[in-house]
């Protein structure tokens, strides 16, 4: 069973990503974090195989989360995907510089998301 964490402040977007991933037909369990704080709570508890994060979030934004994950040796190896709109282009590039493994532009094509996730899960597992 592969475990995936979605960090995204929009509940609708979380449901959409989760439902897209559940169609993979592989045993994946998706956890949803509404903000960076919840992600920080979940990370030490669950051995994730993949993290998907938005950038624009209150309190702790996506870049801060990427920076934390990629600098902490416990989590640095987990593949991390930035899911954001095209308008955050510069921030997305910063995210990649901070160590994010890939990005996906919203609105995304469900197939593109699934392909990307399968690819990253395959690499890590």
Partner 1 sequence: MAARRKRSNSAASKAQSEFVPEAEEILERMRDDLGLLAETVDGDLNPETINGLFRSAHSLKGLSGMFGQEAMSELAHHLEDLLDRLRMGRAVLDRAGLALFDESVTMAATALEKIGDESEAAALAEGIADLIGRIEAWNAAPRAEAVPVVPELDVPPALLRALTEYEEHRLSDNLERGRGIYVIDADFEIASFEEGLHEIQSAIREVGEVLSTLPSPGGSLESHIRFSLLTATELDKGALVGRLDLADNAIQVARAPLGTAKTEASAPQGASASHDDGQTEAKAAAARAEPEIAEPGTLKSISDTVRVDIRKLDELMNLVGELAIQRSAVQQIASKLAMDPATHRIGTDLAKVHKTLERKLQELQSGVLEVRMVPLRQVFDKLTRVARRLRLDLEKEARLEIEGADTELDKLIVEELIDPLMHVIRNAFDHAIEPADEREAAGKPREGLIQIVASQRGNDVLITVSDDGRGIDAEKVRARAVEAGLVTAESDLTRSETLDLVFHPGLSTRDEVTETSGRGVGMDVVRSNIGALGGLVDISSEVGQGTTLTITLPITLAIIQALLVRVGEHRFAIPLNSIRETLLVEDSDLQRTDGRQLMNLRGEALPLCRLADEFDLDTPETGKSYAVVLGVGDARLGLLVDHLDGQQDTVIKPIQGPIASVRGIAGATEMGDKGAVLVLDVSALVEDVVRKGEVS
Structure-token match 């509404």, residue found? 34
Q: Which is nearer to partner 1, 63 or 116 (CB)?
A: 63
Exposure string over 71-86, b if 16+ CB within 10 A, otherwise e: eeeebeebbbbbbbee
Distances from the Cα of 42 to the Cα of 33, 110, 114, angstroms: 8, 25, 23
Binding flags for partner 1, 3-32, as an x/- string (CB under 8 A): ------xxxxx-xx-xxx-xx-x-------
Shortest Å distance, C-beta 121 to partner 1: 17
Q: Which two tokens stand for residue 82?
A: 């930035």
Site for partner 1, rule CB under 8 A:
9-13, 15-16, 18-20, 22-23, 25, 34, 36-38, 40-42, 44-45, 55-56, 58-61, 63-68, 71-74, 85, 87-88, 90-91, 94, 97-98, 106-108
């Amino acid at each position: 069973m592969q475990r995936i964490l979605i960090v995204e402040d929009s509940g609708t977007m979380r449901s959409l990503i989760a439902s897209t991933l559940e169609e993979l037909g592989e045993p994946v369990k998706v956890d949803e974090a509404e903000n960076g704080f919840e992600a920080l709570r979940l990370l030490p508890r669950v051995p994730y195989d993949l993290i998907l994060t938005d950038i624009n979030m209150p309190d702790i934004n996506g870049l801060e989360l990427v920076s934390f994950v990629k600098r902490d040796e416990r989590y640095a190896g987990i593949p991390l995907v930035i899911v954001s709109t095209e308008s955050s282009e510069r921030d997305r590039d910063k995210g990649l510089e901070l160590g994010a493994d890939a990005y996906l532009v919203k609105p995304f094509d469900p197939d593109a998301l699934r392909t990307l996730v399968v690819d990253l899960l395959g690499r890590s597992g």
